[in-house]
Structure 1
């Protein structure tokens, strides 16, 4: 959805963004990407614009968003008045139209090249979301499984940080990662042995199991 440059800065705050250029001093008139509070401001505005649709029909993550489909495929049931249209597609189209209208009314734009509609699965910030649930994207899995044996604390921190991003898919992640996480402490010397190598490969193997998580439906 529309970027930071679509958020106008208040006139009173613009002097805070002043910078020097060969043409003289300039100041920003739009929300700068990378500023301390820019992400929080952007996320808050997106949440406000789509507040009536969250979390039932849409989820947002900064400038990415996913429009949710119906909870059921209705056994591929079609519309009585038009047998060529399946019911779950029709319901999704109604939701899509409503949300796009809200986005248009707010003056936002959507990237046509990144827009995906009525697809069986969608990769959103490293998670593949589909009717069956959510799982880790192949790209994330490959990156973790191809991570070489760490040679120092910096490398083990990088590996654990990547694994922590998908920790919701790893049962008892804290316990599984504990033997490796101790190397991130300043008072622990680097002493990588065979047991550490086994724990390292165990964590990589668990990530490769491609576990799918499905949201609990309290209406069933």
Structure 2
């Protein structure tokens, strides 16, 4: 009886281990507190193998990811990284190839300079950032940081100049990857910074999809006034719980 009890315990432990989800392995550089930030960074660079790239390697990003179509400047973001002592992440080259194959999404003129602006997605630059970020092909337009790793260039759209200040407002489709409850956030470019105006629900459904209907979810009523379509839930009978809401953008 005692032997049977011991065998049962071993089996239970084995089942528990087999049910655990495998953890995503990221090459996190070792940090030595006796070294300065710059010294630590140099040590991390030296310890990076040829088949890996640091997440903030701007030369690699410009040459191999953006391929000369646009030259990204991350110097302002790097200043913040140094202040907070946020170290870059080691990423495998294959991950870059798989991650950045979606290219650019042309949004038209966002900041009123008569030039078309496009958006693209990059991985977190360092360990202080929790998710991907949206970057624009004008270094004067600030990036939008997220805590999601399910960002795509098509998840940003130009919804027009609602407040008629010569700059277009945008909407971001936010996905946490797993849940069917998503969100859409409206931003306005104010004083060279993105101001979050409103965030509302978008529940995944068969009637409306982001791919086909994203632009249909917004209607300008008049100067500063916008209508947006909320899909907040689905009933047990499969009926969508929806409403048109109004917001003022100033």
Considering fraction of residues, name the structure with more helix.
1
For the criterion TM > 0.5, the same-fold answer is no
Considering fraction of residues, name the structure with more strand.
2
Q: Which has the higher contact order (CA 8 A, sep 6+)?
A: 1
